[in-house]
Amino acid sequence: PRYAAPGDRVLVLGDGDCSFSNAVLGQRARRGDAEAEGLICTCLDERDVVTAKYGPAARKAISALEASALSNICFGVDATALLDTLPRSVAAADSFNCVVFNFPHTGSQRVHENRAMLSSFFGNVGSVLVPGGRVDVAMNGGPPYNKWGLTELAEAHKFLLVDRNPFRFEDYPGYSHRTTLRGAAVPSPQLKRSEIFTFMAVG
């Protein structure tokens, strides 16, 4: 599995209802060894907002992540201000082998706002990566997402695209894509064209 390599510390950002992190936890737990620990799930919203937005599914995922010795969960974490919003114990310098940001979105359809968010993300994510660590950003296929200039924004902060793969929802049993705004819909054809863009810092 992509996020269950021995010894990897993985930071998942903006995990709406926490179902993606819970799916990854299942993969890592099946390894059956202590090296599978080190999964940190984060949500931009605080706990009460997450559970109000996403209901029983979110509460179940949160409980599983908190009950496991292999994972932790943090609320109120802003992907554009990681050192300011991650707990100090989590945000130790050079902490993670991989940072995952699935389907980033400000909640607005304005291209410039989403570009600004991604630029701020790449401008600060290096502060929590080990040397040689990678950043995985999953993006929906088609407009308006293909107008955001993801690769260009990453390169401006010295992150180069090193790999690109389809995002396979079936690899993460129980994962359900959630939008930033409660009740908003994402066309399923776009999700089927989603990809994982992998970046590494250079220089």
Could you report the per-residue pLDDT of 157-201, keeping only the tens digit for each?
Answer: 999 999 999 999 999 999 988 766 655 545 455 577 899 999 999
Cα 59 from Cα 62, distance rounded (Å): 5
pLDDT of residue 165: 96
Amino acid of residue 66: E
pLDDT band at 135 (very low <50, low <70, confident <90, very high): very high
Going edge to edge, which strands form the sheet with 159-166? 71-75, 39-43, 10-13, 96-102, 129-139, 195-201, 159-166
> Which class for 163: exposed (0-12), middle (13-18), buried (19 or more C-beta within 10 A)?
exposed
pLDDT-above-90 percentage for the chain: 70
- Structure confidence by residue, pLDDT tens digits, 73-127: 999 999 999 999 999 888 775 589 999 999 999 988 899 999 999 999 999 999 9
Mean pLDDT value of segment 20-36:
81
Q: Examine the pLDDT at 37 and tell me if it is beyond 60.
A: yes
pLDDT the model gives residue 75: 97
Residue 142 — very low, low, confident or very high, per pLDDT cuts 50/70/90?
confident
Whole-number pLDDT of residue 31: 76
| Mean pLDDT in residue range 44-67 | 94
Q: 167 by DSSP, 3-state: which?
A: coil
Nearest to 129 by CA among 174, 159, 165, 95: 95
Separation between Cα atoms, residue 33 and residue 96, nearest integer Å:
19
Record the pTM. 0.92
